[in-house]
Amino acid sequence: MQVRFFLDGQSREVPKGTKVSAAIFLTERALHSRDSEVSSQPRGMFCGIGCCYECLVNIDGVPKQRSCLVEVAPGMEIERDLK
């Protein structure tokens, strides 16, 4: 079963049970989920278990969510913090 969500305003689909970080990789072929606030360098999933905080995204209007811990839900709106 596929789940439809929105990534940076664009409709996307991934298999049910997919984590947000994996959904970004599957649909964009990139791990880049945000730019560093300090250096503006690209950041993305690193540890995959929620310890490093490198994969932060905005989910349904809530900022700084760890994308490797959250499953994609139907209609979810995900925004990357890209500069």
pLDDT at site 31: 65
Residue 48: pLDDT over 80: yes
- Render pLDDT for 9-39 as a digit per residue (tens, 0 to 9): 999 999 999 999 999 999 987 767 778 878 8
What are the helix and strand counts (H, E) for the chain?
1, 7
Domain residue extents for the chain = 2-79
48-to-52, 56, 66 alpha-carbon distances in Å: 8, 11, 9
**Residue 12 has which token pair?**
């996307």
What's the CATH class of domain 2-79?
A: alpha beta
DSSP 57: E
Band of pLDDT at residue 44, cut at 50, 70 and 90: confident
E strand or H helix at 23, and its extent? helix 20-28
